[in-house]
Amino acid sequence: MIRREGFLLYECLEDDKHNIAELLKYLVKLGCIRQAKDIFNQYRTSFPRKQDVYFIAAAIAIAENRFAEAEHIVAQGLAIDCGNSELICQAADIYNKTGRLHQAIYKYQQALVVAADSETAKINTLIEDVKQTSEYITVQQAIMSIFA
C-alpha cells in the first residue's frame, strides 16, 4: 500500500510543488522515512520556504535517531529564521528525546512567544508532557532533596 501511496504522492508533487513540505512532514509522521528521503532529495531545491528544507532534513534525522545531526540542522535553520516556531519546537523535541528536559521546556517556552495562536495549546501540552517525565526535576524539588 505504501508503494501505491508513494506513487500517488509523486504525482501530487509534480502537480503542486507548494505542498511538498506538508506532504513530506506527513510521510515522516507516518514513519515512511525512506520515501520521505527519496522525495526530499529529489525536490530539495523546489521548496518555496528555505526553513522547510531545514525542518524536513532535521525531521528525517530525528526519525533515524541521528540527534546530533538533527540539532545541527535545526541550528542552521534558526540562524536564518530565529522566529520560526516549528524549528524552535523541533529543537525542543531533540532536547526532550536526548534527556535535556530543562532545555526542552525553555525552547518550548520560546516557541510560545512566536507561535501563532492556533499552535499555543499544542505547545503547552508538549511542555506539560515534558514536566510529567520522571527525570524532570524542578529547582524547588532539587533544593528539597538536598536538605532532606
Q: What is the separation of C-alpha 54 from the centre of its chain, rounded to a whole number of angstroms?
A: 10
Q: Kindly report, residue by residue over 8-53, the tens digit of the pLDDT.
A: 555 555 555 557 778 888 888 888 889 888 888 887 777 767 788 8
Look up the domain containing 76 and give its range: 51-148
Count other Cβ atoms within 10 Å, centred on residue 6: 17
40, 46 contact by CB (below 8 A): no
Residues 55 and 43 both lie in one domain? no
pLDDT of residue 106: 94
Indicate the pTM of the whole model: 0.76
Residues 125 and 59 both lie in one domain? yes
Burial (Cβ within 10 Å: 0-12, 13-18, ≥19) of residue 142: exposed
Residues 71 and 119 both lie in one domain? yes
Burial (Cβ within 10 Å: 0-12, 13-18, ≥19) of residue 106: middle
